[in-house]
Amino acid sequence: MSYTNLLYPIVYGTKDRPPLITKELRPRLHEYLGGLVNGLHGTPLEINGTADHVHVLARIKPVISISEFLSKFKSNSSGWAKRHARGRFKWQAKYGGFTVSQSQVERVRLYIRNQEAHHAKISFWASRNPEAATPIVAADVNVAELAAERAYRGLLHDSSNASPRLNARPA
């Protein structure tokens, strides 16, 4: 019998970063995203975000590629959100999709669960130019979290088709 445990933390945002994911829309959107993960034969482990982006931790079966999974995931959720946000909703074209080991799942879940508090401490969305952006860092921000934020920032603002790699290990 074959065994896989493909764990993907995924992040993507609203096109051009307007805060379209209102506090009223957010819980219903997250519930819908969980249903989409299930519908694509995956298992949602954690879903959260802020007004302009979402984080999803999902176990994805090897019956679908990550690019196909996210194409269907973003397309369906964009249509749903447009119907619930008076047609003003669109996801950005790019996304961040990484893999994590089982030993890091709880750490990633906690990170995703605490998005609002996290983004109150550090903001990389302030500038659309990643080279010019200087994160505002509180004293208790973990170096590994900052590295992940910078990797996400670079990916989300990168206009090339190059596949990003994150080689940082947690502190």
**Which residues contact residue 103 at a Cβ distance below 8 angstroms, ignoring those fewer than 6 apart?**
none
Q: Taking residues 24-42, report their average pLDDT.
A: 96
Which amino acid is located at 170 in the chain? P
Does the pLDDT at position 136 exceed 90? no
Query: Could you give phi then psi for residue 54, rounded to 5 degrees?
Result: -130, 150
pLDDT tens per residue, range 95-113: 888 899 999 999 999 999 9
pLDDT of residue 150: 55
Give Cα separations from 66 to 43, 69, 132, 164, 169 (angstroms). 14, 5, 31, 14, 22
Hey, what domains does the chain have and what are their CATH numbers?
Answer: 7-157 (3.30.70.1290)
pLDDT of residue 149: 58
* Number of C-beta neighbours around residue 77 at 10 A: 20
* Number of C-beta neighbours around residue 147 at 10 A: 16
Average pLDDT, the chain: 77
Does the pLDDT at position 126 exceed 80? no
The CA distance from 164 to 167, in Å, is: 10
The CA distance from 68 to 105, in Å, is: 23
Instruction: Answer yes or no: are the C-beta atoms of 26 and 45 closer than 8 Å.
Output: no
Instruction: Give residue 148's pLDDT band: very low, low, confident or very high (50, 70, 90).
Output: low
Give the angle subtended at the CA of 48 by the CAs of 127 and 160, to the nearest 5°: 40
